[in-house]
Chain A
């Protein structure tokens, strides 16, 4: 399962490639001849420009072996050291990088930020991707340069969907792949197709996928986990053209997700419709590179109750969110000397969001008016950066950058469902909110400095420092409801608590130091080992303060609490270790390899000296991969320690440690691959530490438990490339 590329293999290739020069100059009369050096391969699947050399790259080949097990891109990424995920819907987990969650991580789809469009963050950026069709993913867990994006304080997740393919000169090209899968647990199935028709000048690509699942069963005796069903489909067309003035791309697409249960939320997603249109122009000149992207996305999002939470026969509780986003990114890369490259860029991102909850006929609480949760808010950001990369002598590379992001936010007046006695808390809160000035402007300065040093053959050092700033999102600033029900509808933490926004929030400012030392061994048994410590301090960290207990109709505490976003102070530190060993190498790519990874971190709220919320306990994995003459196989053990450090403010549950075993194999013949996998081989009962509370089960059974993890599943996949 964990077949991620590692620096070791590439570096080893470099070492051994050197030996290939041995016979270049065998001819004595050399001076009369032009010497042909070996070709330079400029691989399109290399790390994107400006990405730190320590970044992880997950290729299509890697995903081919993992997409049968999950339709959730974030869930697949959570296997990487330093990456974890908040549990959510079946395709909507929220990635966490070194303790910093989804909203603090720079997530770009084809270089474009996708805005959250839901008070529960049910449609996060990665939910618009499907592991069946993603081309590649780059993950930066450590310090990243400012050119990779602003308004974030954590790492980066850079997803590439289908890149244009062109035919060789004078030819035509028709290529693509189709795939399908089945998962026994939840009767999940899906399929995808990617087809490109191209000449050497024009390329047209269609990508489409569909996936659905019923509720899955937890391991052991955990039974059905309610509200875990989902269905969604994505389609995109990409037209690209090579012209005399550069490479042009126009991509448009739609998503429809008619249902997605959220086991740890009080609501479910009952519809999500989104379409987008992007344009991109790239050209490479003698003086530098130009990369211009313009983008637009429109999303209509609906929440209500799926059957497990009562359905909508009596109206349920409709909640609608509409979002429009538009903007541009302009990047210039200027190689000003043999040593130096200057990168400058500008980026404008406009987000418009309307969030309203129609009244429910006959309901005392949800009527008679529309609850206006967010009234035509906008959040506009203008980012500007300059970065200097220098390749110094003796294997030293430095990248230093500075960036400014101007953020303007505002929103209109709001209103509660009504002004009855049961709605008084919201009515008073609305009045107070409307009396306040909503306009906010932040000027956020960020900077980053990275060093990469190949100290010796087989030893590389990375060191980075960054000061980064993120402004609050729309819900953190503008969610205003103080009634129990209204605040319970806000939050993406999967804990059942109620959240209230805060107009007085300041941007959070993070200082991060990260390092890594990588050892690469060659010889008969190639191996690699990477040890990466890191530390982050966040001033004005946007956490919460408790407003009070949530009480039932009888006035008794429910065990849940009402919280308000507030600026606090926090620090995080941790260690990621990863590596691999080549156990056996045959001919024609045959090999057996063992890889391993482990992560440990410690997050502390310095304002109240409590553990920070939703921090992953120690976890580790070991995987064996084997490939030979069309056969491939893998065995993986994942182990997670007890989660005992929990945030008392949010009533975070403790979870027990667990160990999972996954086995799989596949056979490839003439481009057709059949894969078989058993996930959670021993049907172990477990609760993912960041999975949240199982509110779907609570509604049906009255028993509150952490969301159980998926039990044993037999997975099949079939794919064909042509």
Chain B
């Protein structure tokens, strides 16, 4: 009975805390002092998430991989990298847990055929982006049952080190923003980006927690 008493007391305290501590709004994701924020507009915003819908069909709605490209201009970097990561990058991990990407509902229209040089650059960039994405996705968290979308912007050095990362689209929940930041940081360092990506390539990525 002693254990029961202790548990009951702990539960009572926890219940009281929930009732009195909530809600504690998180109007903006707290930025770590060590992090530098890009002075850029966020990349093209993803389409607003639909309001929660009942799962009215036996199969989950497909969520196509959306391809987006920012039109925001990048500023010149004026500060030292805030996340210096000097360790040589390990080979690309291929140990990703099963990825739950949904296929596009309809095939994308084929782009116009680029010139041969551009074709080569494009292939290199595509391959790099794929490895980047896989590397991040392999480290995504699990066991989170809070909805929200946290969008990050990060840039890489010529060696693939993570130069900067910041929240450019707060989820409204500090824990989700921290998880997203942590995931990108853990995925670094990345492979050296191809020359076709230019200097200090910058990426945006959104973590959609459902």
Instruction: Give the chain B neighbours of A199 by CB distance below 8 A.
Output: 23
16 chain-A/chain-B pairs, Cβ below 8 angstroms: A10-B98, A14-B96, A21-B133, A31-B198, A36-B68, A38-B101, A39-B208, A65-B58, A165-B52, A173-B52, A201-B23, A202-B23, A241-B19, A284-B176, A289-B143, A328-B10
Check A39–B132 contact: CB distance below 8 A: no
Q: Which residues of A55-70 have CB atoms within 8 Å of chain B's CB atoms?
A: 60-61, 64-65
Instruction: Give the chain A neighbours of B198 by CB distance below 8 A.
Output: 30-32
Instruction: Give the chain A neighbours of B126 by CB distance below 8 A.
Output: 21-22, 24-25
Check A671–B54 contact: CB distance below 8 A: yes
Assuming the contacts A38-B133, A245-B24, A335-B182, asked whether A13 and B196 have C-beta atoms less than 8 A apart, the reply is: no
Of A46-54, A125-133, A635-643, A705-713, the one contacting chain B is: A46-54
Check B21–A241 contact: CB distance below 8 A: yes
Of A80-88, A273-281, A485-493, the one contacting chain B is: A273-281
Query: Counting chain A CB atoms within 10 Å of each CB, which of B69, B121, B197 scores highest?
Result: B69
A519 to chain B, nearest CB (A): 15
A650 to chain B, nearest CB (A): 36
Assuming the contacts A21-B133, A53-B97, A201-B25, asked whether A39 and B43 have C-beta atoms less than 8 A apart, the reply is: no
Of A246-254, A264-272, A421-429, the one contacting chain B is: A246-254
Instruction: Give the chain B neighbours of A17 by CB distance below 8 A.
Output: 65, 99, 101, 103
Residue of A with least CB distance to B170? A169
Assuming the contacts A33-B74, A41-B101, asked whether A24 and B125 have C-beta atoms less than 8 A apart, the reply is: yes
List 15 other contacts, CB 8 Å, given A37-B129, A337-B186: A20-B103, A24-B129, A37-B205, A38-B65, A38-B67, A39-B208, A40-B136, A167-B52, A240-B18, A243-B21, A246-B175, A326-B8, A338-B186, A348-B3, A350-B2
Check A175–B175 contact: CB distance below 8 A: no
A379 to chain B, nearest CB (A): 11
Residue of A with least CB distance to B2? A350
Size category, B interface: 35 or more
What's the Cα separation between A26 and B10 when bound, in Å? 58
Check A326–B54 contact: CB distance below 8 A: no
B84 contacts chain A at the CB level, 8 A cutoff: no
What's the Cα separation between A48 and B174 when bound, in Å? 21
6 A-B pairs with least C-beta separation:
A31-B198, A244-B24, A671-B56, A350-B3, A241-B22, A10-B98
Check B201–A35 contact: CB distance below 8 A: yes
Q: Which residues of B143-187 have CB atoms within 8 Å of chain A's CB atoms?
A: 143-149, 153, 172-176, 178-179, 181-183, 186-187
What's the Cα separation between A11 and B95 when bound, in Å? 11
A347 to chain B, nearest CB (A): 13
Instruction: Give the chain A neighbours of B202 by CB distance below 8 A.
Output: 34-35
What's the Cα separation between A587 and B106 when bound, in Å? 9
Check B129–A44 contact: CB distance below 8 A: no
Check A36–B145 contact: CB distance below 8 A: no
What's the Cα separation between A248 and B18 when bound, in Å? 6
Instruction: Give the chain B neighbours of A558 by CB distance below 8 A.
Output: none
Check A61–B178 contact: CB distance below 8 A: no
What's the Cα separation between A670 and B197 when bound, in Å? 47
A426 to chain B, nearest CB (A): 29
Instruction: Give the chain A neighbours of B197 by CB distance below 8 A.
Output: 30-31
Check A40–B96 contact: CB distance below 8 A: no
Instruction: Give the chain A neighbours of B77 by CB distance below 8 A.
Output: none
Instruction: Give the chain A neighbours of B73 by CB distance below 8 A.
Output: 32-33
Q: Which residues of A658-672 have CB atoms within 8 Å of chain B's CB atoms?
A: 666, 668, 670-672
A524 contacts chain B at the CB level, 8 A cutoff: no
Check B69–A24 contact: CB distance below 8 A: yes
Instruction: Give the chain A neighbours of B93 by CB distance below 8 A.
Output: 391-395
B105-134 vs A, Cβ < 8 Å mask (1 yes, 0 no): 100100100100010011001100110111
A213 to chain B, nearest CB (A): 26
Check A721–B56 contact: CB distance below 8 A: yes
Residue of B with least CB distance to A164? B145
Residue of A with least CB distance to B143? A49
The 8 Å CB contact of B1, one of A250, A278, A324, is A324
What's the Cα separation between A397 and B173 when bound, in Å? 31
Check B59–A589 contact: CB distance below 8 A: yes
What's the Cα separation between A627 and B62 when bound, in Å? 14
Assuming the contacts A30-B198, A36-B69, asked whether A44 and B32 have C-beta atoms less than 8 A apart, the reply is: no
The 8 Å CB contact of B178, one of A201, A284, A324, is A284
Instruction: Give the chain B neighbours of A587 by CB distance below 8 A.
Output: 105
Residue of A with least CB distance to B209? A42
A352 contacts chain B at the CB level, 8 A cutoff: yes
B168 to chain A, nearest CB (A): 9
Check B153–A31 contact: CB distance below 8 A: no
Check B22–A243 contact: CB distance below 8 A: yes
Assuming the contacts A34-B153, A40-B206, A242-B146, asked whether A296 and B4 have C-beta atoms less than 8 A apart, the reply is: yes
Check B209–A44 contact: CB distance below 8 A: yes
Check B210–A41 contact: CB distance below 8 A: yes
Residue of B with least CB distance to A47? B142
What's the Cα separation between A722 and B53 when bound, in Å? 8
